[in-house]
């Protein structure tokens, strides 16, 4: 009991200090304030909406539970499943405290943290739940379903990552997928539809995701099997924790590398350095030679080329090219089977917006910006603007080719709109370049932020302003010009966006140059 | 005090530590030397129970190394100490004192904080400290435990010259109090004058062991020469 008290006190002190820090560093309050405002806004906007259908919640809860399960399995795969941090390794693992107490407390703590996040989500959802006729005590039933899921998930991941050290990790991942992911396809097969399968009550009988959803959905209508689901879920938690207690006497070594990986991952995440990259290490051990000579700032381009050669089939083409090709051909095929009613050009306009949106969301963590943390970026004797261009040159070249792959097939199939596709191609790339350079600009402005994760929503809004405002200005100018020159509206808008982006790009480069020359590292 | 017998540690096909045996007696300062990748950190981590040994036995004060009883008898200062970001220096000390059930630690802790010029940082959070300062906190936390044997993994890295000098003095102080100190390092001159014995590791094996005088014999050589000769780099 004393041991537990020591661990609890340590964490209480940490939480107290976390909040005390706000007094010292008011800037840390900014993201919190932003979240509160966002939360109030969401509450208000949701309270204005009418009730949602039961199927909406069925699908939503299924999506959330599946997402959590997949994220957990991914963490096991990347060996990041750990309940500890490096300070625990240094202080707790060598302290005379029972390893089982440390483990159970840490599992509980991790689950509790996730549960807190879940509670936050329930508060967030409560207006729409209440407007759907759910009473507050019934909402608690949903929380129970969610909580039991979380309390099952953490021990599963612990056992899987422990077994992964002993046996082949890939085999363990396959077993996890077979046990918990594959069964969710059974109702879909029986109902011959993904959506009907998800909405079906059969799904509630699938281990973990199903049981938890069964409990969760009892908020709306008490399921006759509710107590069976609760019993199954509780028994599962009990058995799995007993198994851990019985079999886990020495887990320190197993947890050591996962804890190191997790710590690195979290550290990088906080600093916004986790990369979102589709790479395959095609030429991992091959010796690569680059023919041209690159001097000064061009050395960055040389380095990126080397990395690209190592990771992809070719330095200009990669997995992304294949995805773009599949998207392009796929869009035409499903248009031909009349899957959607839009014209091909409209469909490609939407597709372009979605791709750019995804790039904007994830590109903050791609390579390029990390150079700003390297002293040699500042020390290489060359012009800053040239360096920034060299750092991004390869990604831009690759995107030009990828987007060519995306637009060339529809422009042949739909030849009467060839000019529109060409302009869309130009607009797409100009926005992509603005995104790339805005990343550098943002990283140079926010480079001293200790917790990049917390700042990310603010940064994203700032970036969206950088990208959306010029496009909006371009679109307005385009519409105004259209009245004068009487040309195809879509084409005039594309040209205006492109031209506005070019001017924004030049301003960005000058601004970044100014900021970079003042950076102290 | 510490008895390591036929210790082997394998990572899949790689043998990081290959059947090593040695003993550390009460009041001895032992230096574990070796080039990068020799197996020094793996040896220390195995001794303190962070790694499971593949074979062999490790006894600390006659107790199996990963037992709770043995843990009361040793302290481990890792190569890259990580602290709890949201705990202050003093709170780390308090936490360790509680974990090891130490009651009269405050005077000792203050003394060490002063030695390491950390007294004015007592209430600072770990996240506000430099790496060297974090290393100092890690050392102080372990010094207040007052166990029978101390394991230091590369303790001088990141420390300023004054702190290095203080740490060396502390090693001597501990030895004079009858405590054993086991230091893994590749900074040879930092331990040459204070070690009673050295163990030189290469490719997971102990290739040389004994007192520096014994190993030098009649030759007028430095520990660096001795090390290079033993590891075939000279």
Distance in angstroms (rounded) separating the CA atoms of residues A249 and A235: 23
pLDDT digits (tens, 9 = 90+) for A408-436: 988 888 888 888 888 888 888 888 888 88
Which residue of chain B comes nearest to A84, CA vs CA? B84
pLDDT digits (tens, 9 = 90+) for B1-53: 899 999 999 987 889 999 999 999 999 999 999 988 899 999 998 998 888 88
Q: Would the CB atoms of A253 and B50 count as touching at under 8 Å?
A: yes
Please, which pLDDT band fits residue A107 given cuts at 50, 70 and 90? Answer: confident
Alpha-carbon distance values, A122 to A115, A125, A136 (Å): 10, 5, 11
A11 pLDDT higher than 80: yes
pLDDT digits (tens, 9 = 90+) for A154-175: 788 888 888 887 788 888 888 8
A287 pLDDT higher than 80: no
pLDDT digits (tens, 9 = 90+) for A501-517: 788 888 878 887 877 77
Sequence-distant (≥ 6) Cβ neighbours of residue B11 within 8 angstroms: none
Sequence-distant (≥ 6) Cβ neighbours of residue A372 within 8 angstroms: A440, A443, A444, A447, A516, A519
Which residue of chain B comes nearest to A252, CA vs CA? B50
Q: Which of A4, A7, A10, A101 to mutate to test the interface with B (most CBs of B within 10 A)?
A: A10
Structure tokens at B162: 């004054």
Q: Would the CB atoms of B86 and A13 count as touching at under 8 Å?
A: yes
- Closest chain B C-alpha to A164 CA, distance in angstroms: 13
pLDDT at position B25, please? Answer: 93
pLDDT digits (tens, 9 = 90+) for A406-415: 999 888 888 8
How are beta strands B55-60 and B2-11 bridged, if at all?
A: antiparallel
Cβ-Cβ contacts under 8 Å, A89 against chain B: 50, 78, 82
Please, which pLDDT band fits residue A370 given cuts at 50, 70 and 90? Answer: low
First to last CA, chain A: 47
Q: Would the CB atoms of B125 and A85 count as touching at under 8 Å?
A: no
Distance in angstroms (rounded) separating the CA atoms of residues B78 and A89: 10
Minimal Cβ distance to B71: which of A89, A95, A256: A95
Structure tokens at B231: 């590891």
Mean pLDDT of chain A: 78
Q: Would the CB atoms of B50 and A94 count as touching at under 8 Å?
A: yes
In the A/B pair of chains, how many CB contacts fall below 8 A? 89
Please, which pLDDT band fits residue B234 given cuts at 50, 70 and 90? Answer: very low
| More reliable by pLDDT, A284 or A149 | A149
pTM for the model: 0.68
pLDDT digits (tens, 9 = 90+) for A446-505: 665 555 556 666 666 766 776 677 667 777 777 777 667 666 777 777 777 778 778 888
Asked if B18 contacts B203 with a C-beta cutoff of 8 angstroms, the reply is: yes
| More reliable by pLDDT, B151 or A26 | B151
Q: Which of B68, B86, B150 to mutate to test the interface with A (most CBs of A within 10 A)?
A: B86
Which residue of chain A comes nearest to B141, CA vs CA? A91
Cβ-Cβ contacts under 8 Å, B126 against chain A: 87
A162-172 burial string, b = 16+ CB within 10 Å, else e? bbbbeeebeeb
Collapse the DSSP code of A518 into the 3-class scheme (helix H, G, I; strand E, B; otherwise coil) and give the result. coil
Predicted ipTM of the assembly: 0.70
Structure tokens at A491: 């084409």
Cβ-Cβ contacts under 8 Å, B48 against chain A: 94
Q: Would the CB atoms of B87 and A17 count as touching at under 8 Å?
A: yes
Q: Which of A87, A255, A256, A261 to mutate to test the interface with B (most CBs of B within 10 A)?
A: A87
Which of A97-111, A280-294, A350-364, B203-217 shows the lowest per-residue confidence on average (mean pLDDT)? A280-294
Q: Would the CB atoms of B81 and A89 count as touching at under 8 Å?
A: no
Pick from A55, A330, A373: nearest CA to A203? A55
| More reliable by pLDDT, B81 or B28 | B28
- Closest chain A C-alpha to B233 CA, distance in angstroms: 29
Most confident among A250-254, A400-404, A469-473 (mean pLDDT): A400-404
Q: Would the CB atoms of B71 and A263 count as touching at under 8 Å?
A: no
Pick from A303, A314, A324: nearest CA to A279? A314
Kind plus residue range of the DSSP H or E element containing B77: strand B74-77
Cβ-Cβ contacts under 8 Å, A86 against chain B: 80, 82
Q: Of how many residues is chain A composed?
A: 521
Which residue of chain B comes nearest to A86, CA vs CA? B82
Cβ-Cβ contacts under 8 Å, A14 against chain B: 84-87
Pick from B64, B14, B74, B60: nearest CA to B39? B14
Kind plus residue range of the DSSP H or E element containing A40: helix A29-47
Q: Would the CB atoms of B52 and A250 count as touching at under 8 Å?
A: yes
Alpha-carbon distance values, A164 to A84, A88, A260, B231 (Å): 18, 22, 16, 37
Distance in angstroms (rounded) separating the CA atoms of residues A412 and A431: 24
Cβ-Cβ contacts under 8 Å, A10 against chain B: 84, 87, 95
Which residues of A lie inside 8 Å of B (Cβ-Cβ)? 6, 9-10, 13-15, 17-18, 21, 85-87, 89-98, 250, 252-253, 256, 263, 450
């Amino acid at each position: 009991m004393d041991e537990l008290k020591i661990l609890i006190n340590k964490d209480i002190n940490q939480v107290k200090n976390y909040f005390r820090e706000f007094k010292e560093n008011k800037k840390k309050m900014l993201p919190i304030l932003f979240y509160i405002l966002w939360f109030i806004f969401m509450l208000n906007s949701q309270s204005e909406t009418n009730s949602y259908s039961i199927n909406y919640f069925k699908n939503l809860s299924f999506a959330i539970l599946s997402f959590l399960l997949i994220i957990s399995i991914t963490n096991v795969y990347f060996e990041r499943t750990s309940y500890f941090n490096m300070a625990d390794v240094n202080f707790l693992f060598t302290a005379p405290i029972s390893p089982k107490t440390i483990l159970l407390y840490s599992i509980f703590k991790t689950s509790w943290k996730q549960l807190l996040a879940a509670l936050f989500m329930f508060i967030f959802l409560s207006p729409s739940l209440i407007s759907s006729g759910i009473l507050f005590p019934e909402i608690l039933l949903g929380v129970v379903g969610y909580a039991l899921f979380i309390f099952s998930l953490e021990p599963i991941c612990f056992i899987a990552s422990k077994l992964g050290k002993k046996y082949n990790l890939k085999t363990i991942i396959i077993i996890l997928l077979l046990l918990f992911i594959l069964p969710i396809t059974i109702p879909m097969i029986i109902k011959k539809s993904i959506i009907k399968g998800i909405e079906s009550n059969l799904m509630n009988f699938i281990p973990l995701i199903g049981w938890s959803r069964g409990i969760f959905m009892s908020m709306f209508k008490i399921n006759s099997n509710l107590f069976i689901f609760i019993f199954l879920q509780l028994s599962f938690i009990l058995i799995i924790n007993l198994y851990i207690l019985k079999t886990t006497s020495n887990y320190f070594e197993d947890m050591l590398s996962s804890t190191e990986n997790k710590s690195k991952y979290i550290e990088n995440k906080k600093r916004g350095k986790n990369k979102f990259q589709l790479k395959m290490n095609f030429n991992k051990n091959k010796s690569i030679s680059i023919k041209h000579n690159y001097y000064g700032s061009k050395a960055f381009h040389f380095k990126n080329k080397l990395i690209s050669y190592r990771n992809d089939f070719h330095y200009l083409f990669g997995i992304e090219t294949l995805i773009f090709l599949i998207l392009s051909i796929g869009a035409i095929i499903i248009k031909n089977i009349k899957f959607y009613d839009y014209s091909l050009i409209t469909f490609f306009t939407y597709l372009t917006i979605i791709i750019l949106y995804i790039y904007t969301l994830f590109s903050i963590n791609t390579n390029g910006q990390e150079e700003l943390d390297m002293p040699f970026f500042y020390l290489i004797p060359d012009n800053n603007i040239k360096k920034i261009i060299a750092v991004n040159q390869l990604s831009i070249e690759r995107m030009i080719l990828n987007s060519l792959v995306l637009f060339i097939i529809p422009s042949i199939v739909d030849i009467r709109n060839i000019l529109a596709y060409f302009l869309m191609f130009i607009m797409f790339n100009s926005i992509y370049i603005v995104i790339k350079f805005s990343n550098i600009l943002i990283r140079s402005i926010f480079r001293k932020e200790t917790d990049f994760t917390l700042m990310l929503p603010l940064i994203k809004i700032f970036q969206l302003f950088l990208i959306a405002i010029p496009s909006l200005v371009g679109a307005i100018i385009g519409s105004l010009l259209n009245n004068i020159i009487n040309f195809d509206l879509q084409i005039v808008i594309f040209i205006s966006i492109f031209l506005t982006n070019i001017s924004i790009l030049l301003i960005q480069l000058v601004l970044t140059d100014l900021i970079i020359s003042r950076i102290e590292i | 005090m510490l008895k390591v017998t036929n210790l082997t540690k394998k990572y899949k096909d790689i043998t990081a530590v290959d059947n090593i045996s040695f003993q550390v007696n009460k009041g001895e300062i032992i230096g574990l030397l070796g080039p990068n990748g020799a197996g020094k950190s793996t040896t220390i981590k195995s001794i303190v129970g962070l790694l499971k040994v593949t074979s062999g036995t490790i006894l600390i004060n006659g107790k199996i190394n990963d037992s709770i009883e043995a843990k009361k008898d040793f302290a481990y200062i890792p190569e890259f100490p990580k602290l709890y970001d949201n705990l202050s220096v003093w709170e780390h000390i308090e936490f360790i004192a509680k974990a090891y059930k130490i009651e009269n630690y405050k005077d000792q802790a203050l003394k060490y904080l002063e030695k390491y010029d950390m007294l004015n940082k007592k209430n600072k959070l770990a996240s506000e400290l430099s790496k060297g300062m974090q290393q100092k906190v890690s050392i102080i936390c372990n010094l207040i435990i007052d166990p029978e044997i101390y394991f230091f993994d590369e303790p001088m890295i990141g420390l300023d010259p004054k702190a290095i000098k203080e740490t060396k003095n502390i090693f001597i102080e501990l030895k004079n109090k009858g405590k054993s100190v086991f230091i893994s390092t590749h900074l040879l001159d930092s331990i040459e004058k204070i070690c009673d014995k050295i163990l030189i590791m290469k490719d997971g094996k102990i290739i040389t062991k004994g007192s520096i005088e014994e190993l030098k014999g009649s030759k007028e050589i430095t520990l660096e020469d001795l090390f290079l000769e033993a590891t075939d780099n000279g």
